[in-house]
Chain A
Amino acid sequence: MATDAILSVRDLSVAYGQTRILDGISLDLEQGEFLALLGRSGCGKTTLLRTIGGFMRPEHGQVRIDGVDVTRLSPEARPTAMVFQSYALWPHMTVFGNIAYGLKLRGVPKPEITRRIDEVLALLRLDGLADRKVTALSGGQRQRVALGRALAVAPRLLLLDEPLSNLDARIRLDLRHEIRDLLKRLGVTAVHVTHDREEAMVMADRLALMNGGQIVQQGAPAELYDRPASSFVADFMGASNIITLDVRHADDGLIVEGPGIAPARISAAAGSCTVGDNCARADIHFRSAQARIEASGAAVDDELSLPGVILQATYPGDSYRYAVQVGHDRFLVDDIRKFSEGEAVRIVLPAGAIHLFPHVDAQSAA
């Protein structure tokens, strides 16, 4: 691919003994780009990060940084710096000592070290804490020291291993924006591992969603959100209401129907079900916020209408959230209007809210 790629991963496979963790991963990252590796625990995202950092040896495949093959190099020989999930700050050193460690190693003269650390501390809003023991810092401050330690050595590639997962929810929300802003200002190229979809979408330029040791979809946050390539991606990206229906082809679109559900003509639905023959049965994914609830009325063209009963009505803020029973399935739907429990209603899905995928059995999907 692009010749100016900072990081280029080719067909990377990693195994722990007999267990295959990564299976043929390929990835490119350009100067200044911020990539998030997203996925559930055990999907291999951390293993990929640690293999890029040099802490694990791949079975086969290649990792190149700045065009140099680093696959067989140890961590200290790679131009990468990692921010660890546990921060891994050295407790026997001060904040200054932690951040200065990498600079001292590189033989940077003392006055230059002091100057650069003052700069880093100011950048991370840690002024005046240089002589503090790291054990005397708050979680958010430790996190910033860990980031400072990695940034101080001016790495070609910054690796972030769930850097926010040990922090309070409030601080986490602030730091997302702060870190993105900082890395963009410095033009740092970074790979960020997280299981938090929102965090990944807010912080990264590009997402790589992983499952079972493979990258299942890559692209800008909006792309994965609006055009998920598979049932798994749609589910992970928040379209987690799923109903399985029969699909027929019509002149200009698809006819969707099911037991107790009136046939609806859908002109254009997102997903991989537009070519008919592979999905006589399809999984329809939709987001709680993109559906609405109607008390009565007839179905309109280009909308799917699911008759059901409200089981539970809650108010998490902004709008009501309803648990609606449709046949044997249960869905969560948000609507700003008030309905009461036990009321017979219809869930209405406009064509834009529908993501259609060929039906997969629960067993094979797992």
Chain B
Amino acid sequence: MTQASFWQNQAQAPKQTLAARIGDLAGGGVVGALAVGFCILLLAIAIFGPLTNLLLWTVAEQWYFPHTFPARYGFDFWARVFHPDGNAFVSLRYSLVIAVLTVIFCLSLAIPAGYALARLALPARALILLVFLVPQAFPNIPVHINIARVFYQLDLHGTVGAVVLVHTLHGMVYAVWIATAAFGAVDKTLEEAARDIGAGPIRTFFTITLPSAMPGIIASAIFVFLESLDEFTGTYFVGAPEITTLPMLMFRAGMEGNYQVASITALVLLVPSVLFMIVVERFLRADVLAAVGR
């Protein structure tokens, strides 16, 4: 085939969807259609299978080995989990208190850090940004074991403060990176206009720069909040057994074979994640997102 005819053939070939390609590979026609259907089914099972299992467990009161489906359905375990004296409420309170404190602590560091990284001519700026990634890059367990050791010596182990510190360590990468991008996306002439009209640098920051960067800051707060809510290993090594967050409760219930409690807790943890992701999608503008990590 000559060069020219090759390009012509390329141009003539219509764009094929993945489904159409699979159908063709299976020989087309009825067989092809069946093959496509089968692939979709496999995909659906892969995605929804575990979720269905989880949902079933939340409403299963009796479910023994040989049976494919639970023997008895009901909301008995919901009542037990959400009993005012139950573990779930204690865990929920721990989780929320720790998440809120983590967000406050993270942002109080990330806002000045992000502003400095975005606006000041700092040497080794890229290196500083990279340092915040380090806790995520190293294997989690050795890092947490060492932190736990240090906290034991400082008599911090098993306190809410210790857990907040560990969660902050993980949240900082989101908070600082997104805050840096958010401040970087604020048009400098907006600040110049405020200075020009008579505002000092501090007033300019609080009335112009911070409000302009606020959508990005809120998005980073949500990421930190979700990260804290879901965090397990750090909490386990630094907080257990005194601090029992929702993931800890879920873990313990799962280990004890109490799948109903574990599933209900998982479902509860899913709610803020889904809600907040919808919010984040609204707040995080494309230009901020594109600048993350730069």
Q: List the interface of chain A (C-beta within 8 A of B).
A: 53-55, 74-76, 80-82, 84, 86, 88-92, 101-102, 105-106, 149-150, 153
Asked if B208 CB lies within 8 Å of chain A CBs, one says yes
Q: List residues of chain B with CB within 8 A of the CB of A105.
A: 197-199, 203
Determine if B192 and A76 form an interchain contact, defined as CB atoms under 8 angstroms apart.
no
Determine if B193 and A88 form an interchain contact, defined as CB atoms under 8 angstroms apart.
yes
- In Å, the complex CA distance between A102 and B195 comes to 10
Q: List residues of chain B with CB within 8 A of the CB of A92.
A: 211-212, 214
A-B CB contact pairs (8 Å), 25 listed: A54-B195, A55-B192, A74-B195, A76-B199, A76-B200, A82-B193, A82-B196, A84-B193, A86-B187, A88-B187, A88-B192, A89-B193, A90-B193, A90-B194, A90-B208, A90-B211, A90-B212, A91-B212, A101-B199, A101-B207, A105-B198, A149-B193, A150-B197, A153-B197, A153-B198
Q: List residues of chain A with CB within 8 A of the CB of B214.
A: 92
Q: List residues of chain A with CB within 8 A of the CB of B126.
A: none
- In Å, the complex CA distance between A76 and B204 comes to 10
How close is A152's CB to chain B, nearest CB, in angstroms?
A: 9
Asked if B277 CB lies within 8 Å of chain A CBs, one says no
- In Å, the complex CA distance between A282 and B208 comes to 57
Determine if B189 and A76 form an interchain contact, defined as CB atoms under 8 angstroms apart.
no
Determine if B193 and A76 form an interchain contact, defined as CB atoms under 8 angstroms apart.
no
Asked if B150 CB lies within 8 Å of chain A CBs, one says no
How close is B57's CB to chain A, nearest CB, in angstroms?
A: 46
Asked if B190 CB lies within 8 Å of chain A CBs, one says yes
How close is B196's CB to chain A, nearest CB, in angstroms?
A: 5
Q: List residues of chain B with CB within 8 A of the CB of A90.
A: 190, 193-194, 208, 211-212
| Chain A: CB-nearest residue to B211 | A92
Q: List residues of chain B with CB within 8 A of the CB of A54.
A: 195-196
Q: List residues of chain B with CB within 8 A of the CB of A74.
A: 195
Determine if A81 and B192 form an interchain contact, defined as CB atoms under 8 angstroms apart.
no
- In Å, the complex CA distance between A92 and B192 comes to 16
Q: Which of A55, A81, A86, A91 contacts B197 (CB 8 A)?
A: A81
Q: List residues of chain A with CB within 8 A of the CB of B195.
A: 54, 74-76
| Chain B: CB-nearest residue to A78 | B196
How close is A256's CB to chain B, nearest CB, in angstroms?
A: 51
Determine if B198 and A76 form an interchain contact, defined as CB atoms under 8 angstroms apart.
yes
Q: Which of B86-136 contact A (CB under 8 A)?
A: none
- In Å, the complex CA distance between A177 and B276 comes to 51
Determine if B196 and A53 form an interchain contact, defined as CB atoms under 8 angstroms apart.
yes
**B178-219 interface code vs A (CB 8 A; 1 in, 0 out):** 000000000101101111111110010001100110100000
Count B-side interface residues using an 8 Å CB cutoff. 18
Q: Which of B194, B200, B212 contacts A101 (CB 8 A)?
A: B194
Q: List the interface of chain B (C-beta within 8 A of A).
A: 187, 189-190, 192-200, 203, 207-208, 211-212, 214
Given contacts A90-B208, A92-B212, A105-B203, contact A75 B196 (CB under 8 A): yes
Q: List residues of chain B with CB within 8 A of the CB of A101.
A: 194, 197, 199, 207
How close is B56's CB to chain A, nearest CB, in angstroms?
A: 47
Q: List residues of chain A with CB within 8 A of the CB of B199.
A: 76, 101, 105
Q: Which of A75, A149, A150, A153 contacts B192 (CB 8 A)?
A: A75
| Chain B: CB-nearest residue to A93 | B211
- In Å, the complex CA distance between A149 and B198 comes to 12
9 further contact pairs, Cβ within 8 A, besides A81-B196, A90-B190, A105-B198 = A76-B197, A76-B200, A82-B193, A92-B211, A92-B214, A101-B194, A101-B199, A105-B203, A149-B197
How close is A101's CB to chain B, nearest CB, in angstroms?
A: 6
- In Å, the complex CA distance between A84 and B203 comes to 20
| Chain B: CB-nearest residue to A99 | B197
Q: List residues of chain A with CB within 8 A of the CB of B192.
A: 55, 75, 82, 84, 88
Determine if A80 and B196 form an interchain contact, defined as CB atoms under 8 angstroms apart.
yes
Q: List residues of chain A with CB within 8 A of the CB of B190.
A: 88, 90
Given contacts A75-B192, A84-B192, A90-B212, contact A102 B187 (CB under 8 A): no
Q: List residues of chain A with CB within 8 A of the CB of B187.
A: 86, 88
Q: List residues of chain A with CB within 8 A of the CB of B198.
A: 76, 102, 105-106, 153
Q: List residues of chain B with CB within 8 A of the CB of A91.
A: 212
How close is A116's CB to chain B, nearest CB, in angstroms?
A: 14
| Chain A: CB-nearest residue to B214 | A92
| Chain A: CB-nearest residue to B194 | A101
- In Å, the complex CA distance between A336 and B208 comes to 57
How close is A254's CB to chain B, nearest CB, in angstroms?
A: 52
Determine if A102 and B197 form an interchain contact, defined as CB atoms under 8 angstroms apart.
yes
Q: List residues of chain A with CB within 8 A of the CB of B200.
A: 76
- In Å, the complex CA distance between A150 and B199 comes to 13
| Chain A: CB-nearest residue to B207 | A101
How close is B186's CB to chain A, nearest CB, in angstroms?
A: 10
How close is B285's CB to chain A, nearest CB, in angstroms?
A: 11
- In Å, the complex CA distance between A84 and B192 comes to 9
- In Å, the complex CA distance between A101 and B189 comes to 15
Q: List residues of chain B with CB within 8 A of the CB of A153.
A: 197-198
How close is A106's CB to chain B, nearest CB, in angstroms?
A: 7
Determine if A84 and B189 form an interchain contact, defined as CB atoms under 8 angstroms apart.
yes
Q: List residues of chain B with CB within 8 A of the CB of A80.
A: 196
The residue in B197, B199, B203, B212 that gathers the most chain A C-beta atoms within 10 A of its C-beta is: B197
| Chain B: CB-nearest residue to A101 | B197
How close is A86's CB to chain B, nearest CB, in angstroms?
A: 6
